[in-house]
Structure 1
Amino acid sequence: MILITDELRTRLLANGAAETGTNHVPVVKLFNPVGAATWLLTELDKDGDTLFGLCDLGFGFPELGSISLAELEAVKGPLGLGIERDLYFAPHFPLTVYAEAARVAGRIAEAEQLLRHAAEALALSHFELPPDEADDKRR
């Protein structure tokens, strides 16, 4: 599988070239299909190899950091399985929200309620939250 398509590469490079301190929404989610490692990536340096994002190697301590695309592409697990791209990943929050939710959960989490609580804890009033489907069901 191609981990970073041309379209994703363009978006990641644009984020990487943006002003520092920008709180980007993740562009791509990569994961180990036979392990617990997950990466939510927002930026690619102009070197074309250094990715930045939320990294969770499955030890209970996700962190913001950099990873080499070449190293991710070189990973070969059991039966020759490599790192995969989540084709259905649809992020709704900036990376800091995912990082806060991961800090609380001890892993990268995508549960909407946890992400909403993280967004509220970070007081991201300038970022429009997606509609809460649970509120719609209660009405």
Structure 2
Amino acid sequence: MRLLSPDLRARLLANGEAGHAARRDGRREPDPSPVVKFFNPVGAATWLATELDPDGDTLFGLADLGFGCPELGSFSLSELASVRLPFGLGIERDLYFEGRLPISIYAETARRTGSIMQAIGLLHSLPHGPAS
């Protein structure tokens, strides 16, 4: 499976440019919703990406390798694509994931629960988003 469709790539690049422009202009950085979710189909690793740098490889978002300490940071699209897992599998894109909230909410909740997947389950079960 190709990890990024042209539409997802364009959305990630637009978010990246908005973040770079805000930093350049001294404005508050945007807090976009995740555009795409990647996951290990035979393990606990999960990534939520919000931005793609102009290099076409460096993603920014929330990463959870399954050790109970999800964190915001950069990760490589080509490295995700190169992972070879048992049974001939690789890292996959969740075709049905829809980021409903800003990445900061996912990050805060994932840190509290210890995993992105638990955070998604909790946040997406709330009828009107998280309580203030």
Output the TM-score relative to the length of structure 2.
0.85
Quick one: which amino acid aligns to residue 13 of structure 1? L
Choose the corresponding residue for 1:44, options 41, 52, 67.
Answer: 52
- Match in the other structure for 1:17: 17
Question: For residues 1-139 of structure 1, what are the structure 2 equivalents within 5 Å?
Answer: 1-18=1-18, 19-20=22-23, 21-108=29-116, 109-110=119-120, 111-112=122-123, 116-117=130-131, 120=132
Cα RMSD after superposing both structures: 1.3
Structure 2 residue ranges without an equivalent (≥5) = 24-28
Moved over 6 A (4+): none
Per-residue CA deviations over 1:48-104 (Å, capped at 9, x if unaligned) read 000000000000000001111000000010011000001111221000000010011
Quick one: which amino acid aligns to residue 116 of structure 1? P
SS of equivalent residue, structure 1 residue 34? coil
SS of equivalent residue, structure 2 residue 130? helix
Counting aligned pairs with the same residue, the percent is: 62
- Match in the other structure for 2:26: none
Aligned residue pairs, count:
118
Structure 1 residue ranges without an equivalent (≥5) = 121-139
